[in-house]
Structure 1
Amino acid sequence: MTPIEQVLAVAKTIVDSGKTPSLALIKSKLGNSLPMPVLIQGIQRFKALSKEEVAALDASYRLPVVLEQSTSAETALAQLQQQVHALTQQQQELINRISALEAKLTQRDHH
């Protein structure tokens, strides 16, 4: 599937959901996977299609794009959650080390 076909497919899914395709909606569905000029060209081409041509867009092209984007978004979210968890643990370890060092300094200063 070419990048333009991806834009057309996503625009069709947006129309099928009862919304009007816009650059912002298409970009939100495709993420940053396509350059802006391709998105603009694709939406211009979509808007130039007749209702019959829009209806004729092959449904088999639409589903993989949407599912692929959903899966990649879920994967990215899971990776981000793991990173946040790891960073939170590292932060707590550093706080504990700082507290221990501060306690040692306080004891040393009192002796």
Structure 2
Amino acid sequence: MSALEVTQAQEKNGTVMKCSECKFWKKSEKGSAGWRNGLGWCTNVPNFYAVSSEVEDYDPEDGEAGGLVFKPEFAGVKAVGLDASGYQAYLLTAPNFGCVSFIQKA
């Protein structure tokens, strides 16, 4: 079954939880990544470096990011954005993408 067929079946059954209808999804603004394609980003997927801190028993063999763990207040995070620079990372999705963290917009 193709992705389009899955989406159509979900819409028919009323089981679609689209990003565009989720409180965590923000449509990309003109000039930002993905805006020409109608993409948006999930605010529930934070930058890895923003939610991490170094472990006390860091070993240089762990590598640059291998010695990082989630800060206690972010222990339940299900996904993170990560890029090589650590400057900016986020999850871009199409409006009709969906996930298990869906919460209907108010």
Normalised TM-score (structure 1): 0.18
Normalised TM-score (structure 2): 0.19
Structure with the largest fraction of strand: 2
Bigger radius of gyration among the two: 1
Bigger RCO of structures 1 and 2 (CA < 8 A, at least 6 apart) = 2
